[in-house]
Amino acid sequence: MEKELRTDFLGVKLSSPLVLPAGVLDISFSSMKQVSVLGAGLVTTKSLSTQARKGHEGPVVTEVEGGMLNAMGLCNPGIEAGIKEVHLLKEAAANDDELSGNCPVNMSIFATDKEDFVSIAEKADKSEADFIELNLSCPNVMDEFGVPLAASEQMVAEIISAVKNVTQKPVIAKLSPNVTNFTKIAGAATDAGADALCMINTLGPGIDIDIEMAKPVLSNITGGMSGPCVKPIALRLVYECRKAGLNIPIIGMGGITNGRDAVQMLMAGADLVGVGTAVYYRGPEVFRLINEELLSYLRRKGLDSFQSINRII
């Protein structure tokens, strides 16, 4: 089994192409370790900010047809505590028979301006994480033309270059799908020196309404959409990056729930595949299950590794 799913990502050996994305079962080292043991090749921390954040008041999640809306509010224990959790995770992994020390970690960080991104990245650089992921999906307007950060090629590029300057670790840019010019942003991120792209962050956002009380269900009113129904759009954005000629490694995610979805994501052009909301539908075992489903696909098709799966382009 391991042979066929093993891969190398930016110089780090992963036991599977499956990735735990930022925001799902990743606040504490324990959850991340559990997910690694269950079969994720790479785990991402909750997006970390300078200071701890409590996040939004509840309700913070609501299930909708085909997926889920969440407005966690980027709750996180802060970069310092996050670094400690990664330390504990690496320590626990070193002592774990099943992992035998192999537990690659992607540290997600976010800020609302370049300076903060840089100062957090400087700290993340000294952590035991293998990669640094920049959550660039901030809908706040930060540039002079009134364009939100996530949609500003220039801001995205500036933040990436600035972070690249302060870290030796590979830098992954996590992109928002909620922009008109997605491939341009992806291109700008690539040109600015990102080592990989991670797509997609949550879609929308969307609203759910309680018709008995005529109230938005989420206390934040809107929440980002994830889960099976965002998959077609995630596949399209990955595909379009490839069609636009971007040659950078891509972690593709958005609604991946089973082996078939994962194969689709690889066919769209992803190198690794994130699995987040599916934990809701199939439990943390989803990683083990999708690994098995991927393997059975490979066997049925007579392929000897997931890398030999054809892309549609």
Partner 1 sequence: MIKDKRYTLPIAEIKEETTEVRTFCFNVNLDVEAGQFIMLTDFNGGEKPFSISNYESTSDGKLLSVTIKKIGNFTSRLFEMFKGDLVSIRGAYGSSFFIPGKDNSANEEYHCLPKDFKPVLCGGGFGLPPLYLLARHLIDAGVPSSNIRVIAAGRNEEALLFEERFNMLGVSYIGAAENLNNSGHNRFLGTAAEALASFDTDFNFVYASGPDLMMKSLIPFIPNGVEYQFLFERYMKCAIGICGSCATDPSGIRICKEGPALWRTQVEKLQDFGVYKRTASGNIESFTNRLAGKK
Ligand X SMILES: Cc1cc2nc3c(=O)[nH]c(=O)nc-3n(C[C@H](O)[C@H](O)[C@H](O)COP(=O)(O)O)c2cc1C
Task: Give 219's contacts (C-beta < 8 A, 6+ positions apart).
Answer: 56, 57, 58, 59, 60, 71
**Quick check: 300 binds partner 1 (CB under 8 A)?**
no
Contact flag: residue 194 with ligand X (CB under 6 A): no
Closest residue to ligand X, judged by C-beta, is: 23
258 binds ligand X (CB under 6 A): no
Q: How far is the CB of 45 from ligand X (least distance, A)?
A: 9
Contact residue for ligand X among 41, 77, 170, 255 (CB under 6 A): 255
Q: Which residue has the tokens 């972690």?
A: 251
225 binds its own copies (CB under 8 A): yes
Question: Does the protein bind its own copies through residue 278 (CB under 8 A)?
Answer: no
**202: contact with ligand X by CB under 6 A:** yes
> Quick check: 72 and 101 in contact, CB under 8 A?
no
Out of 103, 138, 198, 241, pick the active-site residue. 138
Count of helices and strands (H, E) across the chain: 10, 16
Euclidean distance between CA atoms 224 and 113, whole angstroms: 21
Nearest Cα residue to 148 out of 130, 133, 136, 132: 136
Stretch that binds partner 1, among 148-156, 161-169, 275-283, 294-302 (CB under 8 A): 275-283
How far the first Cα of the chain sits from its last, in Å, is: 28
Which of 240, 259, 257, 100 is CA-nearest to residue 175?
A: 240
Cβ neighbours, 10 Å, residue 260? 13
| AA letter at 78 | G
**What's the closest the beta carbon of residue 192 comes to partner 1, in angstroms?**
30
Q: Is 108 in the site for partner 1 (CB under 8 A)?
A: no
* Residue 215 touches partner 1, criterion: CB under 8 A: yes
Residues 6+ apart with CB under 8 A from 9: 41, 42, 104, 196, 249, 271, 272
> Any contact of residue 38 with ligand X (CB under 6 A)?
no
Task: Tell me if 275 contacts ligand X by CB under 6 A.
Answer: yes
Is 229 noted as a catalytic residue in this protein? no
Are 231 and 251 contacting, i.e. CB atoms less than 8 angstroms apart? no
| DSSP H/E element including 7 | strand 7-9
List 8, 13, 58, 113, residue binding partner 1 (CB under 8 A): 58
Q: Which spans of this chain sit near ligand X (rule: CB under 6 A)? A: 21-24, 46-47, 70, 72, 74, 108, 135, 174, 201-202, 226-227, 230, 253-256, 274-278
Tell me which residues are annotated as active site.
Answer: 138
Q: Which spans of this chain sit near its own copies (rule: CB under 8 A)? A: 64-67, 69, 147-148, 151, 178-181, 203-209, 211, 214-216, 221-223, 225, 227-229, 231-233, 235-236, 239, 255, 260, 263-264, 267-268, 297, 309-312
